[in-house]
């Protein structure tokens, strides 16, 4: 049977933030991970319903800590501070040599039309390691465990899809800024997941106009699903 979903979510949660998510989201102990994945998948399905992607892809979503996203932000963007979300897009799956797009440090240049990650940054094309693995310290691609010891929802029944990219979200930052944005934690996480997905789909937010368009798109999708999402949405980074 033909697989009709544009983007399939592979969710993994760092063990350090799993208790926080279980408590804050109010899901039952035995079902919280699946229910969270279902919520993210429904949001991304709604996002791509009006803007289908030509081929089916997988998106790896990793929910983690401030400390871990800070390390990624430092290593790949040159910003030694936690942030709320980072998007890392893969090269086209049919490329002869698979590659990853990673943020350049200051002074680099980005390919025309390629999305900006984590609210700003520049990209360069880097080859994957042998066997299609990501560099040390970065989540692995296409359905594999993103981090040892994390909880994941990977299902053996999912097709073997090429990866569109990885999205990394700090649950701790999302929790802090949720109330500032007038959201509960789940709505904030979904806004961040859709924001990261829009970057992987080619959207940019380097100007106020572009950022507002992305926010409207994400908020509209979530409101159609019954979430109290607000278009006046901002990233409120806390320096550490």
Q: 128: which DSSP letter?
A: P
**Whether the predicted pLDDT of 113 surpasses 80:** no
The β-bridge relationship of strands 163-170 and 57-64 is parallel
- pLDDT tier for residue 226 given thresholds of 50, 70 and 90: very high
Question: Does CATH place domain 7-224 in 3.40.390.30?
Answer: yes
**Whether the predicted pLDDT of 127 surpasses 60:** no
**Whether the predicted pLDDT of 159 surpasses 80:** no
**pLDDT of the residue at 18:** 93
Predicted TM-score of the model (pTM): 0.75
- pLDDT tier for residue 89 given thresholds of 50, 70 and 90: confident
* Mean confidence (pLDDT) of the chain: 74
Encoded tokens for 118: 């984590």
Average pLDDT over residues 52-76: 90
**pLDDT of the residue at 158:** 54
The residue ranges of DSSP E strands in the chain, in sequence order, are 7-13, 57-64, 85-89, 99-104, 122-127, 151-152, 163-170
Percent of the chain with pLDDT strictly greater than 90? 41
Nearest-angstrom CA–CA distance, 105 and 190 = 28
Q: Mean pLDDT lowest for which of 81-85, 89-93, 126-130?
A: 126-130
**Whether the predicted pLDDT of 26 surpasses 50:** yes
Encoded tokens for 213: 């368009």
Q: Do residues 137 and 75 make contact, with C-beta atoms less than 8 angstroms apart?
A: yes
**pLDDT of the residue at 235:** 67
**pLDDT of the residue at 186:** 95
């Amino acid at each position: 049977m033909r697989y009709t979903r544009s983007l399939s979510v592979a969710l993994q949660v760092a063990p350090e933030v799993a208790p926080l998510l279980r408590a804050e989201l109010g899901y039952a102990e035995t079902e919280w991970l699946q229910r969270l994945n279902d919520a993210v998948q429904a949001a991304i399905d709604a996002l791509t319903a009006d803007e289908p992607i030509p081929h089916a892809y997988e998106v790896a979503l990793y929910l983690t800590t401030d400390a871990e996203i800070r390390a990624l932000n430092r290593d790949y963007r040159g910003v030694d501070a936690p942030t709320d979300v980072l998007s890392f897009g893969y090269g086209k799956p049919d490329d002869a040599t698979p590659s990853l797009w990673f943020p350049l440090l200051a002074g680099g240049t980005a390919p025309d039309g390629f999305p900006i990650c984590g609210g700003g940054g520049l990209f360069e094309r880097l080859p994957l390691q042998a066997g299609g693995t990501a560099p040390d310290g970065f989540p692995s691609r296409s359905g594999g465990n993103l981090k040892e010891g994390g909880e994941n929802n990977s299902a053996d029944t999912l097709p073997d899809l090429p990866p569109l990219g990885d999205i990394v979200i700090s649950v701790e930052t999302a929790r802090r800024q949720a109330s500032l944005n007038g959201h509960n934690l789940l709505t904030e996480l979904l806004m961040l997941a859709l924001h990261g997905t829009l970057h992987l789909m080619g959207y940019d937010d380097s100007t106020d106009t572009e950022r507002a368009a992305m926010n409207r798109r994400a908020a509209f999708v979530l409101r159609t699903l019954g979430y109290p999402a607000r278009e006046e949405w901002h990233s409120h980074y806390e320096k550490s």
